[in-house]
Structure 1
Amino acid sequence: MSSSLVPTRATTSGGLHVCPSPTRPRRRRCCQVTAAALPPASGRRAVSLAGVAAWLATAVGRADAASPLDKYVKRKKLEPLETYVPAVLLTIDQFVDLEKSLEFEKPRFDETRSLLRSGPASSLRINIRAVAQYADSTGQGKAASDAVDECLRALEDLDSLLLHASRNDPTASVETMRSKISVALGALDK
């Protein structure tokens, strides 16, 4: 046998015999990947901005996706319309009672404000938005949404006026409060 095929043994200082590992044959690469050289001014920021721009370019074309999280958020299904309408009608009656409570010579604004925040009026925001969603499904969504916004804005203004009046602020007048109630009632009638 040829001595080149038999591995030579090396001896360590402890007397152990070590055989060298056989050399592996080199493989030839069939293809070679090279990266394009980026100019020194570009870096991670440029790459991330390009990625964001590409994402925005694809997201703008989709009209069905209002938010990127819509596919992950489950929306609660609406109850039947008969669930929301009686509560809205009771709220209208409550607003009429609120308007009557302002007719006294010395109205109690703190009690009127607590009436506004209790009973059927406390869930009005949820109820009228649900009714507006039903109106949207029938093609009257824009008008219903505008009426909801008008009603809620009037109620927020009324709540603010009642708060100022309970603190004896002279700028909060009963006539302005009545006008806010009538605006809210008019919006609910739409």
Structure 2
Amino acid sequence: MVNSNFVFLLLNADAIAGGFMDKYVKKKRLDPLEAYVPAVILSQLQIKDLEKTLDDEKPEFAACRSVLRSGPAASLRVNIRAVAQYASDGGNGKAASGDVDQCLRALEDLDSLLLRASRKEPDASVKAMKAKIGIAVDALDSLLQTVPQDVLDKGKAAADAYRIPRDMEPEIVDPEIKQLESIL
């Protein structure tokens, strides 16, 4: 029979040793917030596009599942947790953490619905999938509200620049540049 005081001392010693070792373990510092915001915005846009795909007459549910694992959405979990950490440092940690949990839960539920729909299970409705997408998008909106406005504006600009089709060239407005182009 083990003495309960002895067990308490062992557990307490482990906790003290763990705390002692924490200062010797290097933790990876986060990249600047500006590195995470465009990826979160692009992921949000990718999820919104997924909702449009579900409007097709016969959506490819397996393809929709792969969309959740590709592009910017592939690293969404890491990116939103980093944004939430910055929000926590700024005093908005509880709300940001809730937004992260809500978003991830909705995306996991969406993935499950897509899987069941790809197996032709009748209880996996497109309406339920769209509801989960709406929850995830709203949670990401709420999380992005914790980001300082200047960083958010830069992130939106970067995301917009990324989403401009490559074959479209921006219109040149400066008359001198137009004149030089016409000469060339």
The Cα shift of 1:116 comes to 1.1
Q: 1:158: which partner in 2?
A: 110
Taking only the aligned residue pairs, the percentage that are identical comes to 59
SS at structure 2 position matched to 1:112: helix
- Cα 1:97–1:66 change in 2 (3 A) is farther
1, 4, 7: which one pairs with 1:52? 7
Q: How big is each residue's C-alpha offset from its partner over 1:105-128, in whole Å with a ceiling of 9 and x where there is no partner? A: 111101111111100001000000
Q: 2:97: which partner in 1?
A: 145
Q: Under a length normalisation based on structure 2, what TM-score does the superposition of the two structures give? A: 0.70
Amino acid at match of 1:130: A
Q: CA RMSD in A?
A: 2.4
73, 76, 83: which one pairs with 2:28? 76
Q: Which has the higher helix share?
A: 2
2:38 is equivalent to residue 86 of structure 1 = yes
- Cα 1:144–1:101 change in 2 (3 A) is same
SS at structure 1 position matched to 2:36: helix
Q: 1:26: which partner in 2?
A: none
- Cα 1:164–1:72 change in 2 (3 A) is farther
Moved over 2 A (4+): 49-52, 54-60, 65-74
Amino acid at match of 2:57: E
108, 112, 116: which one pairs with 2:60? 108
Relative contact order, CA 8 A, sep 6+: which one is greater?
A: 2
Q: Unpaired runs of 5+ in structure 2?
A: 143-184
Q: 2:137: which partner in 1?
A: 185
- Distance across 1 between alignment mates of 2:132 and 2:112: 11
The Cα shift of 1:54 comes to 2.9
Amino acid at match of 1:85: V
Bigger Rg, structure 1 or 2: 1
Q: Under a length normalisation based on structure 1, what TM-score does the superposition of the two structures give? A: 0.68
Q: Unpaired runs of 5+ in structure 1?
A: 1-41
Q: How big is each residue's C-alpha offset from its partner over 1:18-41, in whole Å with a ceiling of 9 and x where there is no partner? A: xxxxxxxxxxxxxxxxxxxxxxxx
Q: 2:148: which partner in 1?
A: none
- Distance across 1 between alignment mates of 2:118 and 2:25: 42
SS at structure 1 position matched to 2:57: coil
Q: 1:169: which partner in 2?
A: 121
The Cα shift of 1:73 comes to 3.6
Pairing of 1:114-129 with structure 2 (within 5 A): 114-129=66-81
Amino acid at match of 2:104: L
- Distance across 1 between alignment mates of 2:23 and 2:5: 24
The Cα shift of 1:53 comes to 1.6
